[in-house]
Homo-oligomer: A and B are copies of this chain.
Amino acid sequence: MTRSLHVAAAQMGPIPRAESKTQTVSRLIALLEEGASRGVEVVVFPELALSTYFPRWWMDDDADIDSFFEAQMPSEETQPLFDRARELSVGFYLGYAELDTSGPTPRRYNTSVFVGPDGTIGAKYRKVHLPGHEDHKKDWGNLQQLEKKYFEPGDLGFPVFRAYDGILGMAICNDRRWPETYRVMGMQGVELIMIGYNTPVHTPGLPQHNHLQGFWNHLSMQAGAYQNGSYVVGAAKCGHEEGGDLIGQSAIIAPTGEMMAQAVSLEDELISAVIDLDRCEEIKGWIFNFEKHRQPQHYSIITESAGVQLPPE
């Protein structure tokens, strides 16, 4: 008895600022159809998959900013993707910039939704770990990372949900570097974590670490998979986009931490693998049997504060 599932990461090459959302959605549909032709059951698209990585620019005008955000999902432009997914019975994870107008004040989040094979939204996640800065670093030009300006930290935590006879969860980009992300979902029995990302190769003003970005990407996702006995699917937006380079190397990772599939271009590219959710138990049942081995009475500092508490001098 296995719970097999055919999963894919739909990596995207650069999205120029001038590309219309309708054009971008047609690329998403092409990747979805490529997946369906292989028998894929769920496709993971990148973070902010409907536009260029706009947090690279400082913008003051709310109308400029809002042009990158979705007040509804599906929107008019994304409805064809939802329709095609339902026709093909393929589920998907989609990252986008969300304008939440449900309260008295509009709020902006870096969001992902899981859409089931019936074309309806089954779960929503809002990015918890926003990277970068909120101040205008003028000399960084279009290599800024203004996520702390354009988004609020997610307010939904890391909920997991049942789908495909398994337990699924979501994270977005910088979340994947943080062991807390995986552990909070691992504590809820997660078996498949879907992650979209946009990761710049170079950030001005920092130590020279360009050559390590690909290594860190895989290191974090492989460790998170292994240490929680969960599959991880990571989908990049990548390549040379509006003057900045983004890493690729989208990956499908087993609960052993092993790479099952990896993208090898900086363009639109679909990678897929047939996974068996039952194999999570190989890790969850012994080496990472939380009930048997964890000692949370010694972990309290993890939740006591955000920042470091240095020992006395």
Contact surface of A with B, Cβ cutoff 8 Å: 128-131, 153-154, 157-162, 167, 174, 177-180, 182-184, 186-189, 203, 206-207, 209, 212, 215-216, 219-220, 222-223, 226-227, 256-258, 282, 284, 286-288, 290-291, 293-296, 298-311, 313
Contact of A220 (CB < 8 Å), options: B184, B223, B306: B223
Instruction: Please report the C-alpha to C-alpha distance between residue A250 and residue B189 in the assembled complex, in whole angstroms.
Output: 32
Contact of A296 (CB < 8 Å), options: B222, B227, B304: B304
Do A298 and B158 touch (CB < 8 A)?
A: yes
Do B177 and A227 touch (CB < 8 A)?
A: yes
Do B296 and A302 touch (CB < 8 A)?
A: yes
With A257-B216, A302-B183, A302-B302 as contacts: A294 and B311 at CB distance below 8 Å: no
Which B residues lie within 8 Å of A307 (CB)?
A: 290-291, 294
Do B129 and A189 touch (CB < 8 A)?
A: no
Which B residues lie within 8 Å of A295 (CB)?
A: 128-129, 153, 306
Do B212 and A302 touch (CB < 8 A)?
A: no
Which B residues lie within 8 Å of A226 (CB)?
A: 216, 219-220
Do A294 and B257 touch (CB < 8 A)?
A: no
With A219-B226, A223-B220 as contacts: A160 and B298 at CB distance below 8 Å: no
> Which chain B residue shows the least CB distance to A227?
B179
Do A184 and B296 touch (CB < 8 A)?
A: no
Q: List 26 A-B contacts (CB under 8 A).
A: A128-B298, A129-B293, A153-B295, A177-B227, A179-B179, A179-B182, A179-B227, A180-B298, A184-B298, A188-B308, A188-B311, A189-B310, A203-B286, A206-B286, A212-B258, A215-B257, A216-B226, A219-B223, A219-B226, A223-B223, A223-B227, A284-B308, A291-B306, A299-B303, A302-B303, A303-B303
> Which chain B residue shows the least CB distance to A306?
B294
Contact of A300 (CB < 8 Å), options: B130, B216, B258, B303: B303
Instruction: Please report the C-alpha to C-alpha distance between residue A301 and residue B188 in the assembled complex, in whole angstroms.
Output: 9
Do A187 and B256 touch (CB < 8 A)?
A: no
Do B291 and A308 touch (CB < 8 A)?
A: yes
Do A183 and B187 touch (CB < 8 A)?
A: no
Do A257 and B188 touch (CB < 8 A)?
A: no
Instruction: Please report the C-alpha to C-alpha distance between residue A56 and residue B255 in the assembled complex, in whole angstroms.
Output: 27
Do A189 and B223 touch (CB < 8 A)?
A: no
> Which chain B residue shows the least CB distance to A256?
B212
Do A256 and B209 touch (CB < 8 A)?
A: yes
A131, A189, A302, A309: which has the most chain B beta carbons within 10 Å? A302
Which B residues lie within 8 Å of A206 (CB)?
A: 282, 286
Min Cβ gap A300→B in Å is 6
Instruction: Please report the C-alpha to C-alpha distance between residue A22 and residue B293 in the assembled complex, in whole angstroms.
Output: 34
